[in-house]
Amino acid sequence: MTTTVSKTAAIVSMMLLLSKTCQAQLSSTFYANSCPNALSTIRTTIRSAISSERRMAASLIRLHFHDCFAQGCDASILLDEAPSISSEKTAVQNNNSARGYNVIDKAKAEVEKVCPGVVSCADILAVAARDASEYVGGPTWTVKLGRRDSTTASRSFAESNLPRFTDSLEKLTSLFGSKGLSARDMVALSGSHTIGQAQCLTFRDRIYNNASDIDAGFASTRRRGCPANQGDTNLAPLDLVTPNCFDNNYFKNLIQKKGLLQSDQVLFSGRSTDSIVSEYSNNQDTFKSDFATAMIKMGDIDPLTGSSGIIRSVCSAAV
């Protein structure tokens, strides 16, 4: 009996050690020898894309976020529909909304030219988000590398794990908490809405049917570009003040009841996260520092490492 217990304990200890070893394989110097020009190659592509379309910075940050929240940071969001793959691209939160796939494909193609079969699409997503932030005045951070790519995707898992624009503060807190992210991480990451745009469909109900927690003038301005019964895909900047600059105006907007999405405004609605919003509205450096920290934590969500997963040759297919 004692021998059996000892063997069981040894097996459990070995499994825990192996798990920790896999996590430890993520390293900022992962490609230092195998592909030393990987990061500079990715950066060139990302900067070129954003210089052509400023909005792309927000799209690339969001793409990394939507990847990590659905079965981990494994590039599953990039996979196209296939007989054995239920593409996350058509999940409610991504369909006709998530963008930047072509930019990641371009970065992957360029990296393949210098280091074929070495750099994962999951790592390219993580690096692209960092480079996008930096390009538009946001923080930079050291990206841990060594993720591998999944061979599967799940539309249903994405739909149940990605936030929705109608989510309550409780729902958002629970969702982020399930990924190991704190309320402070959640508010900091939401600050990425200081750049980018949203479709009329996502904020129509807020500007027409919500008089309690929205500035009347702000709602009136937004209605001009978002008719009550049409124009679902009409775009509006998430931050009306400095829509192309990564700053803390997003939080100042929330305090003035000028959050575009309901899921934004709930962060400042007389609840537990009000103090964090106030802090970030008063201290841009603190916001940017916390955003970088939260992005690093998010990049650690369930990565495939070691012998798990593959290195795709094309990001949209499991090959």
Question: If you average pLDDT over residues 48-70, what whole number do you get?
Answer: 97
Find the catalytic residue in 66, 144, 193, 258: 66
Model pLDDT, residue 210: 80
User: pLDDT per residue over 45-54, tens digit each?
Assistant: 999 999 999 9
Percent of the chain with pLDDT over 90: 90
Model pLDDT, residue 24: 47
pLDDT of 14 > 70? The answer is: no
pLDDT band at 8 (very low <50, low <70, confident <90, very high): very low
pLDDT band at 257 (very low <50, low <70, confident <90, very high): very high
Cα-Cα-Cα-Cα dihedral sign, residues 177, 306, 147, 293: positive
Q: Name the helix (H) or strand (E) containing 235.
A: strand 235-237
Model pLDDT, residue 12: 39
Question: If you average pLDDT over residues 70-90, what whole number do you get?
Answer: 96
d(CA 18, CA 38): 28
Decide: 42 and 128 in contact? Cβ < 8 Å: yes
d(CA 139, CA 186): 16
Residue with tokens 């193609």: 109
Residue 307: alpha-carbon gap to chain centroid: 25
The pTM (predicted TM-score) of the whole model is 0.91
* Helical H segments across 90-182, by residue range: 101-114, 121-135, 155-161, 169-177
pLDDT band at 11 (very low <50, low <70, confident <90, very high): very low
pLDDT band at 205 (very low <50, low <70, confident <90, very high): very high
Is 66 tagged catalytic? yes
Q: What b-and-e string marks burial along 278-310, b requiring 16 or more CB atoms within 10 Å of the CB?
A: ebbbeebeebbebbbebbebbbbbebbbeeebb
Model pLDDT, residue 4: 42
